[in-house]
Amino acid sequence: MRPAVLYSLFAPITSVTGIGEKYAKSYQNLGIAKVADLLWHLPVGIIDRSNKTTVAEAKNGEIATLHLEVDDIVLPRSRRSPTRVVCHDETGNIVLVFFKVFKGFLEKYLPIGAKRIVSGRVDFANYGMQMAHPDYIVANESEMPLFETVYPLTAGISLKMMEKSVKGALAMLKPLPEWLDTEFKKKQGFPDWIDAVNLVHNPKTMADINSANPARRRLAYDELLSGQLALALLRAKKKKLSGYEIKGDGKIRRKVFASLPFKLTDAQVRVLKEIGTDMARSSPMYRLIQGDVGSGKTVIAFFALLNAVECGLQGAFMVPTEILARQHYNKLKPLADMAGVNICLLTGKDKPSQKKDNLGAIKDGTMDIVIGTHSLIQEGVVFNRLGLAVIDEQHRFGVHQRLDLKAKGAAPDMLVMTATPIPRTLALTLYGDMDISVVDEKPKGRAPVKTVALPLSKLDEVILAIKRAVATGTKIYWICPLVEESEALDIAAAKQRFKELSALFPKQVGLVHGKMDAAEKDKVMAEFADGNSPLSILVATTVVEVGVDVPIASVMVIEHAERFGLAQLHQLRGRIGRGSKESSCVLMYGENLTTSAKARLDIMRKTDDGFEIAEEDLRLRGFGEVLGTKQSGFPEFKLANMATDLDLIHTAAKDAQMIVETNPSLKGDRGEALRVLLYLFEQDKNVKLMRG
Low-confidence ranges of the chain (pLDDT < 50): 624, 627-634, 689-692
Q: Please give the pLDDT value at position 351.
A: 87
How many of the other CB atoms lie within 10 Å of CB of 461? 10
The whole-number pLDDT of residue 596 equals 86
CB 309 within 8 A of CB 343: no
pLDDT for residue 491: 67
List of residues 6+ apart from 70 with CB closer than 8 A: 85, 86, 87, 110, 111, 112, 113, 114, 115, 116
Q: How many residues does the chain have?
A: 692
- As a whole number of angstroms, the distance between CA 180 and CA 193 comes to 10
pLDDT at position 425 is: 66
Q: What value, to the nearest 5°, has the Cα angle with vertex 565 and ends 561 and 570?
A: 80
pLDDT of residue 629: 35
Residue 112: other Cβ atoms inside 10 A: 13
- The dihedral region occupied by 133, where left means phi > 0, alpha psi between -120 and 50, and beta the remainder, is left
pLDDT of residue 634: 46
d(CA 331, CA 329): 5
The confidence score (pLDDT) of residue 631 equals 40
* 337 Rama sector, left if φ>0, alpha if ψ -120 to 50, beta otherwise: alpha
pLDDT at position 393: 78
State the pLDDT at residue 622: 59
Calpha distance 360→383 (Å, rounded) = 9
CA distance 503 to 498: 9
Q: Which amino acid is at 559?
A: E
Q: Spell out the domains of the chain, with CATH numbers in brackets.
A: 4-47+149-210 (no CATH), 50-144 (2.40.50.140), 251-439 (3.40.50.300), 449-607 (3.40.50.300)
Per-residue model confidence (pLDDT) at position 627 = 46
The predicted structure's pLDDT at residue 522: 79
Radius of gyration of the chain (CA): 32
Condensed to tens digits (0 to 9), the pLDDT of residues 515-549 reads 887 778 878 888 898 888 999 999 998 776 555 67
SS3 203: coil
Q: What percent of the chain has pLDDT over 70?
A: 92
